[in-house]
Amino acid sequence: VGSQMRASESKKDVLLGGLLVPGFDEQTCASRYQAVYYRKNMTRQPSPYLIKRLRQQEALQRRCGPGTEPYTSASERLRSGQTDVDNVDGCNYLVLISYRGLGNRMLAMTSAFLYAMLTGRVLLVDRGYGNTLADLFCEPFPGTTWALPPDFPVKNFKQLDEDAPESYGNVAVNRSGSLMGLRFVYVHLDHSASPANLLFYCDDHREFLHRAQWVIMRADQYIAPGLFFNPAYQEELDRMFPRKDSVFYILSRYLLHPTNDIWGMVTRFYHSYLSKADETLGIQIRVFDSDKPAQQILDQILACTSQERLLPGVVTTGGGGGDPPPRLPTAGARSMAVLMTGLSSWYHDNVREMYWRSASIDGEVVSVHQPSHEEHQLWFATKHDMKALAEIYLLSLTDKIVTSGWSTFGYAGHGLGGLTPYVMFRPVLNGTAPNPPCTRAMSMEPCSFGVPHFECTRKEFNRDVLQGKLLPHVRTCEDAFWGLKLA
């Protein structure tokens, strides 16, 4: 942000009501304190209790994090397997395995952070294949690092799977909770995790997990809704989040700050194409079944934006020489900038051409922009992930947003922006187009896949959980009937 904008908006609360701590070097991570100049005011405020808990967590991360005495002795215990030696430092750790796409990783990091806070563990994030973590995100905690050190003593921990002897399901079901001979517990929360592993969501102080100094977690999605079912956390969660509909919004604003390279991409694009428009609309297109353009999906996008009155219609005539003469643009005509994201440019090209070939009915000037079209998804490719993060962030800066159902990329975009999306139902390609094409979501929260099916008091399967009937603020997702979201 230029000094001019600074001066004119000098009253902005860059620390977001105490959510962020002052004192970080601004040069190394400009987005942390500059984001406020690009965003709308926060629609939900962090509670004073959450702010207090964040400060405690920061102190814990500093006291026990990599490079400290407690960390060195905890890693030594993990390496040697001497888990029966007393843990005198009171430092316990949660190691998160990063995998799948960037949206998946952002949802997993944010909700694993919530779990770390609830259980008083230090969060350490695996740098990912290709070490992309530090190219994407700034350090969230002052005076320490959240990146798992390369000399982490559990070799091949990224290959851990449900059948590992250390998996929560195995320990709970086959070992009756005995940790004897185990150096750590592995929590498997992949979206397709088995019911035995989902018992994790009911773990409380009576169970074995709190006795493990090291927990290694695999999660590719948003695990927060499941934590609300655990009676052991309910009071704490209520105090942290008096409103349940903005957990990701608030925590992601605390945790996820793009690095300077990405922030440059965000701000340059924003100033070039979005900042001057009267209104901005984000359209996030994610096609799961095919990389080829599909007319059916273009039709769905246009049906959605028309049904929800997000984009103006265009003047249609018979064509040829009989068209009415183009109108002179009226002074002060409203302008709308549409930010489209997707792996293909075809949808963008079509929408842009539509507003080039024809005038909008209401005289509004519609411009359509797409930052990149990478064609295919790549995994842990730095440049590719950087573009993806810049686009997720840009989506979060729009006024209104249309997202593709099932897409964690879209969830991260609207969640970070505090935007309640219009979510397009996932289509079956070459099948019948969903009708209606989209719906206004009930909240800005991401949908959680792979949710627990139990009522924790009895650890029994309970259909009401999945149907969103057990807790008033945990409901069935609009776009996935087996998913749950906070509202």
Q: Which residues bind to ligand GDP, rule: CB under 6 A? A: 100-104, 286, 341-343, 372, 374, 377-378, 384-385, 387-388, 391, 407-409
Tell me the closest approach of the beta carbon of residue 244 to ligand GDP, in angstroms.
23
Instruction: Of 229, 222, 231, give the one whose Cα is nearest residue 472.
Output: 229
Q: How far is the CB of 378 from ligand GDP (least distance, A)?
A: 6
3-state secondary structure 148-212: CCCCCCCCCHHHCCCCCCCEHHHHHHCCCCCCCCCCCEEEEECCCCCHHHHHHHHCCCCCCHHHC
Smallest distance from the beta carbon of 92 to ligand GDP, in angstroms?
29
Residue closer to ligand GDP by CB (options 79, 384) is 384
**Shortest reach from residue 100's CB to ligand GDP, in Å:** 5
Please provide residue 455's backbone torsions phi and psi, each rounded to the nearest 5 degrees.
-100, 120
Cβ proximity to ligand GDP, 87 vs 372, nearer residue: 372
Q: In angstroms, what is the minimal distance from the CB of 277 to ligand GDP?
A: 20
Best CA proximity match to 340, nearest among 297, 308, 385: 297
Phi and psi torsions of 56, nearest 5°: -65, -40
**Minimum Å distance from CB 285 to ligand GDP?**
7
**Judged by CB, which is closer to ligand GDP: 93, or 409?**
409
Q: Give the shortest CB-311-to-ligand GDP separation in angstroms.
A: 19
Nearest distance in Å: CB 235, ligand GDP? 33
- Widest CA span of the chain, in angstroms? 88
Residue 54 vs 262, nearer CB to ligand GDP: 262
Residue of 160, 98, 94 whose CA lies nearest to 129: 98
Task: Round to the nearest angstrom and report the end-to-end CA distance of the chain.
Answer: 34
The residue among 62 and 384 lying less far from ligand GDP, judged by its C-beta, is: 384
Instruction: Name which of 101 and 450 has its Cβ closer to ligand GDP.
Output: 101
Specify the residue, 98 or 104, whose C-beta has the smaller distance to ligand GDP.
104
Q: List the beta bridge partners of residue 474.
A: 486
DSSP states along 55-119: HHHHHHHHHHSTTSHHHHHHHHHHHHT-TTS--TT---EEEEEP-S-HHHHHHHHHHHHHHHHHH
State the residue number with the nearest CB to ligand GDP. Answer: 101
Nearer to ligand GDP, 342 or 415 (CB): 342
Q: Which element (helix H / strand E) includes 216?
A: strand 214-219
Q: How many C-beta neighbours within 10 Å does residue 281 have?
A: 21
